[in-house]
Amino acid sequence: MKFINIKLIILIFLASSINAFAVIDVVHIGSFGKGKNWQAKQYNEGASKVCYIVSTPIKTNPDGLNRGEHALMISNFVGDNTKHEPSVDAGFTFKPKSSVEVIIKDNKYKFFTLENRAWLADGQNGKKLIKDMKNGARVVVKSVSSRGTKITDTYSLIGFTKALESIDKACS
């Protein structure tokens, strides 16, 4: 009897853990820009859809840093009707209580940080940021790692508008 209870407990635990190991099926919508700088993708999150565009830097200073995957992203979340949420994945842990500065032409935007991610800070104009990205050529992202290293990533905006339009269509 005791043996059956242990098996039952293990079975319940395994059955409840299956969702934690589920593989997200990401669909590639397209590649945009010279050198395919912007990738558009989507996946399902429960009954809802998430669409996003992502780009990796064309230049990093200092060069040759040991860091994980890093990218600039814009996301649409159909479930809560969030559209054009900008974020940065640094590939390293940010300095605690630091912020990230995103620069397009003469316009600067402040992003708040949490571990290795950064999002547009409250009070910043997200619509203006997206408009600047559509009209700009480059985005410069300045940040500081938990080790105190000052890092500047530069992203191309060639193909950004078409990539954004593709996720707006896919997640409409």
DSSP per-residue codes, the chain: -HHHHHHHHHHHHHHHHGGGGPPP-PEEEEEESGGG-EEEEEEEETTEEEEEEEE--SEEESTT------EEEEEEETTTTEEEEEEEE-SSPBPTT-EEEEEETTEEEEEEEETTEEEEPTTS-HHHHHHHHHH-SEEEEEEEBTT--EEEEEEE-TTHHHHHHHHHHHT-
**pTM for the structure as a whole:** 0.82
Q: Which fold has domain 25-170?
A: Immunoglobulin-like (2.60.40)
pLDDT digit string (tens) for the chain, length 172 residues = 443 444 334 433 333 333 444 456 888 877 786 778 999 999 988 878 999 999 999 999 998 888 999 999 999 999 889 999 999 999 999 999 999 999 999 999 999 999 999 999 887 899 999 999 999 999 999 999 999 999 999 999 999 999 999 999 998 8
Map out the domains of the chain as residue ranges.
25-170
